[in-house]
Structure 1
Amino acid sequence: MKIFDAIDSLRRVSKGINGDFIENISGGFLTFKNKYGKGNAKAFKLFTGLEVLSFNILASETIVLEKLYKNSNCLHFIFCTEGFLTHYLDKDVEKQNIHRLQNVIIGNNKNNASTIVIPANTKVKFTIITVIEVSHLSNDLKNGNQLSNLLSNIMSNVSNTENYTYFGEISSKTATFVDTIINTNLSGLSNRLINEASVYRALASQYSSRGNNIKKVENKNPLSKKDTLQIIELSDYISQNLHETIPLKKLTLISGLNQKKIQKGFQYFFGETVNKFITNLRVLKAKEYLEETDFSISEIVYKVGLNSRSYFSKIFKEKYGLIPKEYKKYHHLSNPTFQLSYYSEAVEGITKKDLIAVLEASKRNNKLQSISGCLIYYKASFYQILEGPKTEILNLIEIIKTDKRNKNVNVIFEGVKSGRTFGEWNMALIQDDFNTIESNDDFDVIPIEFLPMTDIKNPLANKYLWEKARNYLIINQEVDK
């Protein structure tokens, strides 16, 4: 079974409303401003089996978000803090409105996809938190960890009928947590923990509301605006100094707040004590190192300010269900993906036949070396991204430098990353003079108007270009199927 993927759902939404979509290690992000209206949305995953979509949209025209998810044995907790929505399942004639501050839980056992309709001339803010039944997760993740316990508790008493829908009472209990999810960006460790804490609190609030056993939730910020800023600054300080010992006394000296007020602030924003916050931040940073670098486990333990590798393994497994070594393997980082992007100038007089030869040779040879990527020809220049074993790619770039069909090869960026941007060798040829490719191989052609071709020699702009190319290829491959 394909586990629910919020990022894929948001990518499809982006295509439907001609939005601008980008994906990175933190999640997927959509922005748009066109005839459909304006707004933004994000998708991110806390664990395998616990994912979040959030939307902040002003719709000028009716917006239909189709096929947001299509999985059995999962629940979607929907909460709208502004405006209202209409929801229906595939092949389901009945449509139901989701009102502002209404607690809604939806699930099914027949792989029916959900559709949400945002009415024209409506401002909406809402989240969808999705959980998968623990029995459908990988065996590696069923170790009594935080996620499996959470899912077991939530799924244990849910009806096994074909479709499960709960449209509950109007309540403001969950609104504060949902607004925090919508309004807090995902960059920075402390922001990621704020999002994580808010997701758990929203989930607990909605689930307890369903059972008519709502505990008192104190939504009022116990701190003044000035003290609130001090707490946020302290969380940033901690995230930037994880390698140090950070006693509570030191935080009082830095902020001027007393220990009681600091603890109260961390409980409000992060749902935990300062010490627990620091520990979780260290685990989160370690997870980031495991996903993005080829550091050894011992190096990571040192970098996040811990002294014991065994203690690190213990707290990491408690949170993510796997010891760090297994997690590294699970994310295919035993041999990290090395990524390099470059541009070069085509020699004068290059022909369509020459370009096809480059494409065919690249596709054939790089496949043998386990190298994937994408090649673009635009305005007499080559732009290419290469992904795979570091040694093979560095050898390849030296060969490219000696290829007489191009000159002035310049590396734009290089480094290690988690996974691959391009799953297979996708070739893209972009040039009005060569808008058709006749070859024995199949090449994907990306329309020039789809890609941002300005300032693409800048590292950030270049990475954005490849994200756009990837999204186009993924979406059109789905359409073709």
Structure 2
Amino acid sequence: MMELYVRSLPLKDVIANLAEEMKTSYDKNCNEYILNIPATYGKGLIRGINFTLGFGLIEYNCFFKEDVHIHFSLNNIHPLKFIYCSEGCLKHRFEEKEDIHQIDQFQNVVVSSSSKNGHVLIFPKNTQIRMNSLEINRTDFKTKIDCDIDNLDKRLRSVFKDLRAKHLFYYHGNYSLAMAKCIQDINSSKQKRFARRLLLEGKANEILSIQIQDFEDDQRKDSRKKILRKADLRQIENAAKILKEELAKPITIKDLAKRVGTNTTKLQEGFQHMFETSVNNYLRNLRLEFARDQLILGELNISEIAEQIGIINKSYFSRIFKEAYGLNPKELSQQIKSLAKRASLKDY
């Protein structure tokens, strides 16, 4: 295990401290400070940038050969941290506490240490980690949030107003698809120098805006949550699998949502995101594709096919099939038989 200690702020000094601890150098590019991890420690980089009004953003894209504990141990009040893990997993604990918090892929935490106590980030060995941390010096940031902070969620409002860090704060959640897109834009950015700085500053503001919405959505009861999280996509995949396997079974959107552990709003949003259509349209398309394939195989008659996809009304089945393929089931069946007959005569 390797232990590294950071005893400085702002983020440019964090990078300088880490470089000193790793006995290496770092680079500066338009006020972004970049540390390439030495081969003796592993590979990857850590880079940070400070903006105006106490705003900062740090990125960890690293692979360590041994477990690494980074101690943020300042003789000062620590920034409010918004941490997002997009690859791998890591752990966090408060310096004055023994409890360890696991942060998995697509999860985020909002943390504020109490008084001058700090944080410890624990990076497991032989694991690729991609993590971004938005860091806010609340005293400097105060001028930016004084406009209308009273409309924020009570807990979030209190942590922004806790300028002297009197209270320890920890929030753990799964970040939304909007947040995932924002983080991806940062991590895949090809801009350089001034253009990159402008992008990062804009994305830092966007992260905070999305985080406020995500946090407030998390305070709602499960049945009233509206924002789809990156982790929710597994539930959407499970719902799609159920529909494929149970074509003939009638199921309501409410029952399907319940079976996969979500609500109807998030289920519909998930299908729009993954398949660009509604749940009902997705099921209808599955049924029609199955019917078309069975007609091509020619092993079942039209009534048997309709029964297997759970459509009792034959006229309705015929109508929606023609809307999709330009021919009704009977016409397609006849066309297939005619083509097969011509092929047979040609071979003869």
> Hey, what's the Cα distance between the residues in 1 that align with 2:95 and 2:114?
12
2:21 corresponds to which residue? Answer: 16
Residue 184 of structure 1 pairs with residue 183 of structure 2? no
Matches within 5 A, 1:398-477: none
Q: Are the counterparts in 2 of residues 36 and 60 from structure 1 also a CA contact under 8 Å?
A: yes
Q: Are the counterparts in 1 of residues 79 and 137 from structure 2 also a CA contact under 8 Å?
A: yes
Where structure 2 has 5 or more consecutive residues not aligned to the other structure, the ranges are 1-6, 219-224, 231-348
Residue 32 of structure 1 pairs with residue 37 of structure 2? yes
Selected match of 1:209 from 189, 211, 214: 214
Q: Are the counterparts in 2 of residues 105 and 167 from structure 1 also a CA contact under 8 Å?
A: yes
> Hey, what's the Cα distance between the residues in 1 that align with 2:63 and 2:157?
37
Selected match of 1:175 from 175, 180, 194: 180
Selected match of 2:51 from 46, 50, 55: 46
Matches within 5 A, 1:295-306: none
2:90 corresponds to which residue? Answer: 85
> Hey, what's the Cα distance between the residues in 1 that align with 2:146 and 2:193?
26
Which deviations, in whole Å up to 9, do the C-alpha atoms of 1:237-270 show, x marking residues without a partner?
A: xxxxxxxxxxxxxxxxxxxxxxxxxxxxxxxxxx
Residue 124 of structure 1 pairs with residue 129 of structure 2? yes
Change (3 A) 1:18 1:150: farther
TM-superposed CA distance for 1:38, in Å, is 0.3
State the TM-score, normalized to the length of structure 1. 0.39
> Hey, what's the Cα distance between the residues in 1 that align with 2:125 and 2:148?
37
Task: Say which SS state the counterpart of residue 212 (structure 1) adopts.
Answer: helix
Change (3 A) 1:24 1:149: farther
Query: What is the Cα-based RMSD across aligned positions, in Å?
Result: 3.3
Larger Rg: 2
Q: Are the counterparts in 1 of residues 176 and 227 from structure 2 also a CA contact under 8 Å?
A: no
Q: Are the counterparts in 2 of residues 52 and 128 from structure 1 also a CA contact under 8 Å?
A: yes
Q: Are the counterparts in 2 of residues 184 and 191 from structure 1 also a CA contact under 8 Å?
A: yes
Change (3 A) 1:24 1:153: farther
State the TM-score, normalized to the length of structure 2. 0.53
Tell me which amino acid in the other structure corresponds to 2:180. A
Q: Are the counterparts in 1 of residues 177 and 229 from structure 2 also a CA contact under 8 Å?
A: no
Q: Are the counterparts in 2 of residues 71 and 111 from structure 1 also a CA contact under 8 Å?
A: yes
Higher helix share: 2
1:200 corresponds to which residue? Answer: 205
1:156 corresponds to which residue? Answer: 157
Which deviations, in whole Å up to 9, do the C-alpha atoms of 1:324-371 show, x marking residues without a partner?
A: xxxxxxxxxxxxxxxxxxxxxxxxxxxxxxxxxxxxxxxxxxxxxxxx
> Hey, what's the Cα distance between the residues in 2 that align with 1:118 and 1:67?
14
Matches within 5 A, 1:133-148: 133=138, 136-137=139-140, 146=144
Q: Percent identity?
A: 19
Which deviations, in whole Å up to 9, do the C-alpha atoms of 1:411-460 show, x marking residues without a partner?
A: xxxxxxxxxxxxxxxxxxxxxxxxxxxxxxxxxxxxxxxxxxxxxxxxxx
Selected match of 1:60 from 40, 51, 65: 65
Where structure 1 has 5 or more consecutive residues not aligned to the other structure, the ranges are 220-481
Q: Are the counterparts in 1 of residues 177 and 228 from structure 2 also a CA contact under 8 Å?
A: no
Residue 94 of structure 1 pairs with residue 99 of structure 2? yes
Tell me which amino acid in the other structure corresponds to 2:46. A
